[in-house]
Copies of this chain bind each other. A is one copy, B any other.
Amino acid sequence: MTIVVVWLTGWTGTTPAQTTASDPLPSWNDGATKQAIVEFVTRVSTANSPNFVPVEDRIATFDNDGTLWAEQPLVQGLFVLKKIKAMAAADPSLQEQQPYKAVLAGDVEYFRQAGEAAVVELATITHSNITQDQFETEVRSFFDTAIYPKFNVPVTQIVYKPMRELLDYLKANNFQTWICSGGGIDFVRQISHSLYGISPQQVIGSTGKEEFIEQDGKYVIWKLPELSRINDKEGKPIGIDLHIGERPIFAVGNERSGGDIAMLTYSQQQPLSFQLLINHDDGYREFAYQEPDNVSLNAAAANGWQVVSIKNDWQTVFSFQE
């Protein structure tokens, strides 16, 4: 007979966040934003509260780029650049072809003129004609070595510390935490667990077409050079319906391109719900950038979404700045 005795004491770090007196969001400054988050989470997770939400409906969705980590430049863009360079080095004939030539020359004007189609082409070239296993190996290898410009730290260090705390706080209160990114699903999945504590199964992202084929006597998932779904803007509620099948009661995005307005709008159709929009207003510790038409902040004001001012609401932005 085995007897296991487990002692959990109320004054150690092992106490669940919701019952401890210590602050679950230490990197957030006290103020209206932090207070609103804690009030909502407490309200829906307190048994016998009139606003109690059963555990299975406590679903939270987070944009990734600019919401969970920095996006100036996009991390997946760094991967694309690295891979284009590697492809051109392996096959020098590519160096005279577009879009390789423009990438190698840093020819921003080429992409400005070619527009979104050229960006889609770059993504397609670098994310296809490869097995899923090989692609995942490439992505992991990228994350092992890539450095983020401006801060000159490994890209795995550009996670916003307050957001990682928020993810952990929600999980401690039995929320399902999901990533709902415009980035590629199989790119983001490679770091979802290590950086955010989120399983690959709880990542929603853009996808390419695939087929299941035999190759050298082995069956593989083969990535075809064709997009199947872009998980941005109106694509985000569709992605949430596909992977979750339920509206999130907690949704977080950021201002840059209006990419999260549809997700926050969709979440708000749930009567008891919470929407958060991050405003990049801290050019000193992060980056300051605004939409020319202010569309996301206007939507937040019109709909009563909580806005995070990085400058005012976050005591720390990145762990490496502490």
Contact = CB atoms under 8 A, between A and B. Distances in A.
A302 interface: no
A221 B245 CA distance: 11
A243 B201 contact: yes
A211 interface: yes
B3 A9 contact: yes
A128 interface: no
Nearest to A186: B245
A185 B6 contact: no
Number of copies: 2
B1 A8 contact: no
Given A4-B8, A7-B3, A212 B200 contact: no
Given A186-B245, A201-B245, A218 B1 contact: no
A19 B244 CA distance: 33
A262 B220 CA distance: 11
A219 B265 contact: yes
A1 B11 contact: yes
Interface stretch (A147-155, A234-242, A282-290, A310-318): A234-242
A276 interface: no
A176 interface: yes
Contacts of A278: none
A5 interface: yes
A143 interface: no
Interface of A: 1-11, 56, 132, 176, 185-186, 189, 193, 199-203, 207, 210-212, 218-221, 234-235, 237-238, 241-246, 262, 265-266, 269
Contact of A189 (B9, B221, B245): B245
Instruction: Name the 5 nearest CB pairs between A and B, nearest first.
Output: A2-B10, A200-B245, A212-B237, A212-B234, A6-B6
Contacts of A246: 200-201
B212 A262 contact: yes
A201 B176 CA distance: 10
A266 B219 contact: yes
Q: Which of A9, A132, A235, A242 gathers most chain B CB within 10 Å?
A: A242
